[in-house]
Amino acid sequence: MIEGKSSEHNEIYFVKVGCGPKKGFMEPCFLCKLFTMNNTNILTPWNAADKLAWFNEQTIKRSYKNEVVSKIDDLKKDFKVEEYGSLKINPERYPLYLIKSKNIDPKKKTILITGGVHGYETSGVYGALAFLKDEAKKFTDIFNIICVPCVSPWAYETINRWNALAIDPNRSFIPNSPAEECRLFLTAIHSLNIKIYAHFDLHETTDTDNSVFRPALEKRDGIIQEVWDIPDGFYLVGDTENPQKEFQKAVIDSVRRITHIAPADNEGMIIGVPVEQEGVINYELKKLSLCGGCMDPEFSTTTEVYPDSAKVTTENCVKAHVAAVLGGTEFLLSIL
Ligand SMILES: [Zn+2]
């Protein structure tokens, strides 16, 4: 789920998003309304003390070491595993890993897979690791494969969307990012000095987006958030500037063999964004500093699994992500 705000020309606009980016909408003069609300103490954005209070409420709920790092270790026989930094909050506990095919060849095209940009979106982390374990080797003669399976491990352990500073990484893939998760990731990928041909960024859209994370966003920014229905099913977010429709279709067709695709609503939308083709919406990935656009790939897709559906299981969600990367990679192979 992607969300945020930015300001231009003395206006504030909000981007309401599911785990894929949701359509932005302009609210001219909203700034004035906000000031009015602040004057009446209806909504006041968090200051540093508020963010610290939020941080102090967070607790560790699961183990990055046991559930993620152990799986990374298992991949070392087939891939190179590099530690590209660690999170300042606890460097021992949160090393950051990049996994890549053993023989990176600049003549090959390079596929990047990312998971855990939002740490709570579990099947993205496990899906990236499962693709490497079960499927990636068949492609390593043809493509360079690079994977960062858990970009935001503190958020993985605390089941959070934000990092420890209450920053959403998936609006923060910019140079000198305030989110160290993004800063370290970008430095690591750029240091490979290799063009990213295709990028799969693996996410979930969850019920807690509406029940936990958007209410928290409302409090943090002091801005009322609209509510929309969480779509029941898998969908993709492509790039408005470079939609690559056939590529997206190949991903959807692969995933539908594993799980159901989110239908458009009565207005032809998913999370408020017009559906471009079944299960696919587009968003301005680069302009909004989203992970899927940060390396300016020729092909990019952001996957959105709905893990709270009555029709799926945890395993099914992981397999959906594997199928997404598999279907997209087979498409890329077919057009070489
Ligand atoms: Zn997400």
Each of the 336 residues of the chain gets a pLDDT tens digit; together they read: 444 333 332 333 333 333 333 333 323 223 333 433 444 445 789 999 999 999 999 999 999 999 999 999 999 999 999 999 999 999 999 999 999 999 999 999 999 999 999 999 999 999 999 999 999 999 999 999 999 999 999 999 999 999 999 999 999 999 999 999 999 999 999 999 999 999 999 999 999 998 999 999 999 999 988 777 899 999 999 999 999 999 999 999 999 999 999 999 999 999 989 999 999 999 999 999 999 999 999 999 999 999 999 999 999 999 999 999 999 999 999 999
Rounded-to-integer distance, Cα 138 and Cα 147, Å: 15
CA of 117 to the centre of ligand 1 (A): 7
Locate the domains of the chain by residue range. Answer: 46-334
Give Cα 174 to chain centroid, integer Å. Answer: 15
How far away, in angstroms, is 17 Cα from ligand 1 center? 9
How far is ligand 1, taken at its centre, from the CA of residue 1, in Å? 4
Task: Read off the tokens for 233.
Answer: 């099913």
DSSP code of residue 62 = S
User: At the topology level of CATH, where does 46-334 sit?
Assistant: Aminopeptidase (3.40.630)
What residues have their beta carbon closer than 5 A to ion ligand 1? 1, 19, 118, 121, 203
| Separation of CA 41 and ligand 1 centre (Å) | 31
Nearest to 170 by CA among 132, 205, 208, 123: 205
Give phi and psi for 64, each to the nearest 5: -60, -40
Q: 113 alpha carbon to ligand 1 midpoint, in Å?
A: 14
Residue pair 312/304 in contact (Cβ under 8 Å)? The answer is no
Helical packing angle, 214-221 and 48-57, nearest 10°: 150
Task: Give how far Cα 334 sits from Cα of 67, 248, 256, 258, Å.
Answer: 34, 14, 19, 21
Q: How many CA atoms lie within 13 A of 129 on its CB side?
A: 22
Distance 30 CA to ligand 1 centre (A): 26
Q: What is the DSSP letter of 190?
A: H
